[in-house]
Copies of this chain bind each other. A is one copy, B any other.
Amino acid sequence: MRSRRDVDVPTLVESARSGAPRAVARLISLVENADPALRDVMAALAPHTGRAWIIGLTGSPGVGKSTTTTMLVRAFRERGLRVGVLAVDPTSPFSGGALLGDRIRMGDHVLDPEVYIRSMATRGHLGGLAWATPQALRVLDGAGCDVIVVETVGVGQSEIEIAALADTTVVLLAPGMGDGVQAAKAGILEVGDVFVVNKADRDGADATVRELRHMISLGDRTEPGLWRPPVVKTMADRGEGADEALEGLDKHWARLQETGELRERRARRAAREVEAIVLARLRSRMGDLSRGSSLPEVADQVVEGTLDPYTAADRVLTELT
């Protein structure tokens, strides 16, 4: 086994760019492990990035994210595109294996050399989802993927974070999985560019579609010139509704390019990515501080009530900056 220092970055990046799945997997592992070699990896990849269309796919547990992803992958493969799938699990501290079930369900594509499927656990990682995901997407992008589907379960803030990373965000729902009020609460109405109501053969599918359309019509997205998110019905396990879903996605992609919004979204995304690296580095400096500095001392004074947390923060900031 090679030590971390021995990562041969130029060779690894070259292999990944030529499409070697093992090299791609290795690079994503470096991201997962926050390996120091990442700096060189990202420098080598930079000129080759920016081509991929990044599609975020989010929804509650049980709505059919894996089958929908499989359906989309199949459709993009029919167009001859190279496809990446990144399944991000923000609730698990364990890597890849935790999502093995999903990967098995995507069995159709496991052996297709033009499809990269990768699960990534981000919980407990330095900076979490916001730090690791854009870098993993950068790897898949640099490896020549035309489309990348980044799939995550919508819990906590994850769907907002995924939307911030994607060019196009698909929000997946299923009938009876929660009413419109809950949808609004979760903030999905604001983040969805395309809404897919999966399991459309279930009772209440049409009501869910109607309710979603109604709620979208109440928002500020109905102003002239603004993108109005389509709501499509699918039965992803049978591939039904794939054409309608793709049509919605394609229209959004065309719109992003026409309006210049693609560039704006990507600039915001890059700013966030840089910010996440900056924050992780500051946080790691703070970790150093907790060993050789005033942090333990001021924390003790806060416990004793002789110092308030804001004044304590002032002291730490002085040392940090």
Task: Tell me if A106 counts as interface (CB < 8 A to partner B).
Answer: no
Quick one: closest B residue to A304, CB to CB?
A: B50
Bound complex: CA A187 to CA B94 (Å): 10
A303: B residues at CB distance < 8 A:
50, 263, 266-267, 270
Looking at the assembled complex, report how far the CB atom of A154 sits from the nearest CB atom of chain B, in whole angstroms.
9
Report the interface size for chain A: residues with CB under 8 A from the other chain. 68
Task: Tell me if A222 counts as interface (CB < 8 A to partner B).
Answer: no
A279: B residues at CB distance < 8 A:
279, 282-283, 286
Task: Tell me if A149 counts as interface (CB < 8 A to partner B).
Answer: no
Task: Tell me if A123 counts as interface (CB < 8 A to partner B).
Answer: yes
Q: How many copies does the complex hold?
A: 2
Quick one: closest B residue to A93, CB to CB?
A: B187
Is there an interface contact between A90 and B156, defined as CB atoms closer than 8 Å? yes
Is there an interface contact between A186 and B91, defined as CB atoms closer than 8 Å? yes
Looking at the assembled complex, report how far the CB atom of A10 sits from the nearest CB atom of chain B, in whole angstroms.
14
A residues engaging B (CB < 8 A)? 38-39, 42-43, 45-50, 90-94, 98, 123-124, 128, 134-135, 138, 155-158, 160, 185-187, 263, 266-268, 270-271, 273-275, 277-279, 281-283, 286, 290, 295-296, 298-300, 302-313, 316-317, 320-321
